[in-house]
Amino acid sequence: MTRTIAVANQKGGVGKTTTAVNLSACLAEKGKQVLLIDLDPQGNATSGAGHNPDEVEKTIYNVFLGGISLKDVIRTSKVSGLDVVPANVLLSAADIAFASDIARPFLLRNAMRKTTTAALVHYEFIVIDCPPNLGLLTQNALVAAGELIIPVDARYYSVVGINILAGMVREIEEKLDHHVELLGILVNMFDRTTTHHNAILEMLKQTYGSKVFQTIITRNIDLSDAEANHMPITLFAPKSSGCRNYQTLAEELLALSEMAPSSS
Ligand SMILES: Nc1ncnc2c1ncn2[C@@H]1O[C@H](COP(=O)(O)OP(=O)(O)OP(=O)(O)O)[C@@H](O)[C@H]1O
Ligand SMILES: [Mg+2]
């Protein structure tokens, strides 16, 4: 069964895309079939998976507009087992284009359901990269996903931000009757030598207990260099600490039993 995982946080620059791309690549490296869906008009996950967002012909936005199926926009990547559904800046028009559409929170879920089951069923993981806001696109990701990863940086306002996102998850549950299981909060850009970072980590563990991933992603320049070179870390710097961190995260995720039914 496919596990559909949204990577979300309304705060910008906390490592959503870095996590979506590199976790997907590490799962693929472990022999899993993975589909990475870029749901951010910035197109950073598209780029991280090796495709130029400005040059891709069809994107997730074309699927939302209709007449083209999700399976028709799937692209392969240089990582065996990792495919990608691209996005680019045109997706930023979605808010206005679907403003009066009664099914607006269900655009992605419906696209996934309409795509012939055979086209998606062989993916063991679908990972969705979200934009830095709680608007229509993040809402669509949460409605399409069964599970959620929240990457955070080790700063005070990250803790506050989690509550706001958790509020949206509750609202989706109450008003749209869809449950998304919090798979884990992922501490990123961590520096063990910084007292403040350690204090925030402690605070997160006290508040969210086992929902904080044991794996911590430390600050590692290879991760940003991989991004600049449009490559997952598994290809760019397989021996780096950043790669090791994401491999460990993939192992932790695989060890966690499936906690939520996927809606794909
Ligand atoms: N652990 C890390 N070590 C070093 N650099 C990192 C790390 N994680 C992310 N970065 C870098 O920080 C920047 C922000 O990361 P990323 O783009 O993944 O965040 P984001 O949450 O997806 O941002 P946005 O909200 O704009 O979509 C990028 O340049 C990325 O390469
Ligand atoms: Mg991003």
* 216 alpha carbon – ligand 1 mean position (Å): 14
What is the Å distance from ligand 1's center to 91 Cα? 20
Pair 26, 57: CB distance under 8 Å: no
Q: What is the pTM of this model?
A: 0.96
Q: How far, in Å, CA of 20 to CA of 5, rounded?
A: 9
d(CA 256, CA 264): 19
| pLDDT tens digits along 219-247 | 999 999 999 999 999 999 999 999 999 99
Q: Which ligand is nearest to the CA of 226?
A: 1
Quick check: CB of 132 below 6 Å from ligand 1? yes
Query: What letter does residue 194 receive in the DSSP assignment?
Result: -
Neighbours of 255 (CB within 10 A): 8
**What ligand 1 atom has the least distance to the C-alpha of 12?**
25
In 91-181, alpha helices (H): 94-97, 107-114, 117-121, 136-144, 156-176
Question: How far is residue 72's CA from residue 181's CA, in Å, rounded to a whole number?
Answer: 29
What is the spatial order of strands in the sheet that 181-188 belongs to? 75-76, 82-85, 34-38, 125-129, 3-7, 147-153, 181-188
pLDDT tens digit at each of 264 positions of the chain? 899 999 999 999 999 999 999 999 999 999 999 999 999 999 999 999 999 999 999 999 999 999 899 999 999 999 999 999 999 999 999 999 999 999 999 999 999 998 776 788 899 999 999 999 999 999 999 999 999 999 999 888 888 889 999 999 999 999 999 999 999 999 999 999 999 999 999 999 999 999 999 999 999 999 999 999 999 999 999 999 999 999 999 999 999 865 544 444
